[in-house]
């Protein structure tokens, strides 16, 4: 009946273990009996201690030899279980690691605006396994919420960069590019963009300068601003481009960009209208001169 429930190898090991234990126990009794023959109590206690230590060491060594193969099998099984457990809980471990990174690195807090893998949003909650954000519209459309909630696993914090955006009531550099489809004078257009930017930013110029100085001192590095800048370049297909940088309130950036863009296009439209009027007058003058020349030739004939 016992062979039905216990494998034969384990049954043999149990039998050998019991036999070895009985042998060591008998050996211990014989050794202690021999140790009692000494008349000195101190020597007798030392010998009894030595007998017990030797028999215990023999018993431990014998049991280790007997059960070594089973211990190895148990260790292999335990290793396999641990590997399977790690594989099964890999995502949870990464989420916890991401949470530790967020907490230890002070990446962001509730109320911050972050961008992760192209997803922008304001952090409304974060926990051990996930971070919940309120999705924001694309930058070119403003900084208003889309009323959608996005739950991001914290494992994403370990797989890519996390960009923490300035708060809406903070000043920060805002960059955008104006691409010209038709040829325009580069110097005049760049000067017009600069003048328009200075005009729309003049109200907050002093406050922006103080905030820029404070942020640069706190960060310990140079930050773009507070003066606006316009650089001229070309696109991949040769179109003229104006790269504009303005230092303004984050919440006002889309409106200011729109105002600068409209002012530039309105000025270019007026300029092209004047050029068309001038061209029309020039062609009219040429036509008048041709007509007069033809009439003079007919009179001479």
Q: Is residue 1 pLDDT above 50, yes or no?
A: no
Q: Burial code of 52-83, b = ≥16 C-beta within 10 A, e = fewer? A: eeebeeebeebbeebbeeeeeeeeeeeeeeee
pLDDT value at residue 120: 85
DSSP code string of 8-20 = HHHHHHHHHHHHH
Tens digit of each residue's pLDDT (9 = 90 or more) over 112-167: 888 888 888 888 888 888 888 888 877 666 667 777 888 888 888 888 888 888 88
State the Cα angle at 221 between 220 and 227, rounded to 5°. Answer: 125
Tens digit of each residue's pLDDT (9 = 90 or more) over 44-90: 777 777 878 888 888 888 888 878 887 888 888 888 888 888 787 88
Structure tokens at 149: 């909630």
Q: What is the mean pLDDT of residues 229-244?
A: 88
pLDDT value at residue 158: 84
pLDDT value at residue 243: 92
The CA distance from 174 to 168, in Å, is 12
Residue 115 φ then ψ, to 5° = -130, 125
Higher-pLDDT residue of 182, 177: 177
The rounded mean pLDDT for the chain is 80
Tens digit of each residue's pLDDT (9 = 90 or more) over 243-294: 999 988 888 888 888 888 888 888 887 776 665 555 556 555 655 665 566 5
Angle, nearest 10°, between helix axes 90-105 and 41-88? 100
Higher-pLDDT residue of 299, 224: 224
pLDDT value at residue 202: 85
Lowest-confidence pick of 171-175, 191-195, 288-292: 288-292
Q: Where are the beta strands (DSSP E) in 25-98?
A: none
pTM: 0.56
Q: Is residue 3 pLDDT above 60, yes or no?
A: no
Task: Work out the pLDDT band at 2, boundaries 50, 70, 90.
Answer: very low
Contact, 110 vs 123, CB < 8 A? yes
Task: Work out the pLDDT band at 169, boundaries 50, 70, 90.
Answer: confident
Structure tokens at 116: 């992760």
Q: Torsion angle of alpha carbons 25, 31, 32, 34, nearest 10°?
A: 150
């Amino acid at each position: 009946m016992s062979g039905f429930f216990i494998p034969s190898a384990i049954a043999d090991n149990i039998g050998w273990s019991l036999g070895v234990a009985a042998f060591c126990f008998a050996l211990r009794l014989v050794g202690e009996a021999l140790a009692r023959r000494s008349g000195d109590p101190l020597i007798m206690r030392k010998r009894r201690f030595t007998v017990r230590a030797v028999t215990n060491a023999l018993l431990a060594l014998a049991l280790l030899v007997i059960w070594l193969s089973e211990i190895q099998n148990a260790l292999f099984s335990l290793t396999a279980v641990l590997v399977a457990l790690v594989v099964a809980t890999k995502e949870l471990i990464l989420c916890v690691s991401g949470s530790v990174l967020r907490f230890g690195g002070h990446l962001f807090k509730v109320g911050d605006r972050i961008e992760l893998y192209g997803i922008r949003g304001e952090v409304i909650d974060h926990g051990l396994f996930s971070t919940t954000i309120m999705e924001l519209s694309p930058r070119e459309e403003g900084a208003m919420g889309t009323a959608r909630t996005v739950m991001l696993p914290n494992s994403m914090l370990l797989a890519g960069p996390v960009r923490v955006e300035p708060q809406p009531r903070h000043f920060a550099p805002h960059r955008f590019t104006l691409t010209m489809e038709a040829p325009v004078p580069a110097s005049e257009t760049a000067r017009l963009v600069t003048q328009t930017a200075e005009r729309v930013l003049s109200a907050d110029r002093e406050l922006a300068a103080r905030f820029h100085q404070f942020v640069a001192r706190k960060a310990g590095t140079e930050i773009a601003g507070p003066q606006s800048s316009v650089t001229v370049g070309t696109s991949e297909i040769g179109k003229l481009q104006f790269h504009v940088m303005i230092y303004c309130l984050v919440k006002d950036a889309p409106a200011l960009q729109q105002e600068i863009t409209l002012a530039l296009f309105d000025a270019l439209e007026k300029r092209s209208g004047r050029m068309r009027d001038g061209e029309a007058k020039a062609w009219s003058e040429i036509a008048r001169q041709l007509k007069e020349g033809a009439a003079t030739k007919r009179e001479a004939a």
